[in-house]
Amino acid sequence: MAPPRTGYAELGWPNRELALLNDIALAATRLRGVQAILDFSLRAVVDGLGLDNGMIYLFDDSQGRYVLRAYYGLTPELAAQIDRRKREIGESPVQITETGRLDYTPDMSVKRHGPGSYVSPGLLSHMEARSGVRLPLLSMGRAVGEMDLMSRPGHPFDRPYAEMLQMVARAVGIAIDNAQLFEQTRHLAALEERERLAREMHDDLAQMLGSVHMRVMTVDALLADGHVADARARLADLEEACQQAYSSVRELIATLHVTVSSGAELLRALQGWLEEYRRQGDAQVELEVEGEAPPLGAETASQLLRIVQEALTNVRKHARASRVKVRFAREGDEAMVVVEDNGQGFDLARLNGEGRRSFGLQVMRERAQSVGGSVQIDSRPGHGTTVRIRLPLA
């Protein structure tokens, strides 16, 4: 994101106000993260309006109070002193956010009580600013914080100016609220992803360990009955089960280590993953990409990689295929990915929600739906399986 424009001073009212509001609105759409929005907005307001300095407070749920989150035009030491002074005298943004109205202090050097009294004579001696205004940051009628602005003598906050500041404060409040909602959405998405991975790992490991345990019990029973030759034959099955378990664990670990944020990164990661996949199985795997890498958002690319990995894992475990083809294409405003094998296929109608394969298909559909996409599966015994994945482009 570009820094605030430097031409505010050359603009007259209301053009300066419109330019400032436009810059804050653009920042809300381009920047990611609450802190980035805070820093940009405060810098734009102070520089754009020719003020001396500013501070922004947001409510911290973990501490149960408003905390200083951004400052501009102040040294770290001076900002900390002002913040400490406000807490010492019990002055809180609640006084402003609850009323929803600004508080203007024409001369902080003579104000000793109430809002604005936090700037003591000792602090004023280190500042050029003398007048100040405290503004509630609102979004949809809800307070998200407070913005304190200070200016030097000769810069009065008259009524038209104050009304303009309230409009700017509302724009900043909406930008902050949007950034907070975005971060909350990302947090929830991360929790959902962890839950999906936990379910996949639990299902895979439980099935593999159960299979190994059953084979061990069979070998033990054969040896107890003196059937040594049969026990040796069963040991080969046990070795194969252990090898499958080892391969599955390696795939799960590889899945956790890979992160992608675009279509190009997705293809590079998939190519590396396919090399390992080929070493673990006998099937020939072909990757075909029509045109350039599809433009995908970070979350969409990440979910698509997991879906393709799950589809290929199902092929290795269940299909007994000799050939697998993964094709990437673009159809309108969607990315289309097809995973096709020539294996033994299966009867979709008989899965009835039980077993590892049914669980894997459910997880693939959940992943696609989480980013606005879909998964279609076509299969029948003796005719292989085709998985079609459709996801929206960025």
Domain ranges of the chain: 8-184, 259-394
> How sure is the predictor about 81, in pLDDT bands with cuts at 50, 70 and 90?
confident
Task: Say yes or no to pLDDT of 286 above 90.
Answer: yes
Return the CATH number of 8-184, one of 3.30.70.3290, 3.30.450.40, 3.30.300.20, 3.40.50.720: 3.30.450.40
Can you tell me which residue has the tokens 């990164």? 265
What pLDDT sits at residue 72? 94
Two tokens at 107?
């001369």
pLDDT-derived band at 113, boundaries 50, 70, 90: very low
Is the pLDDT assigned to residue 84 strictly greater than 80? yes
The share of the chain scoring above pLDDT 90, in percent, equals 19
Q: Does domain 259-394 have CATH number 2.60.40.10?
A: no
Answer yes or no: are the C-beta atoms of 234 and 225 closer than 8 Å: no
- The token pair that represents 54 in the structure block: 């500013």
**Confidence class of residue 241 from pLDDT cuts 50, 70 and 90?**
confident
* Matching fold, domains 8-184 and 259-394: no
Q: Is the pLDDT of residue 122 over 80?
A: no
**Confidence band (pLDDT; 50, 70, 90) for 351?**
low
HEC string for 13-81 = CCHHHHHHHHHHHHHHHHCCCHHHHHHHHHHHHHHHCCCCEEEEEEEECCCCEEEEEEEECCCHHHHHH
Mean pLDDT, the chain, whole residue set: 78
Asked if pLDDT for residue 114 goes beyond 50, the answer is no
Segment 162-171 shows an average pLDDT of 81
Cα of 183 vs its chain's centroid, Å: 7
> Which pLDDT belongs to residue 238?
79
| Matching residue, tokens 């589809």 | 311
Burial 304-332 (b: 16+ CB within 10 A, else e): bbbbbbbbbbbbbbbbebeebebebebee
The model's pLDDT over 207-236, given as tens digits with 9 standing for 90+, comes to 667 777 788 888 888 888 888 888 888 887
Is residue 206's pLDDT more than 60? Answer: yes
Per the document, the length of the chain is 394
* pLDDT-derived band at 322, boundaries 50, 70, 90: very high
Interval 165-174 mean pLDDT: 84
Radius of gyration of the chain (CA): 31
Q: What's the pLDDT score for residue 112?
A: 46
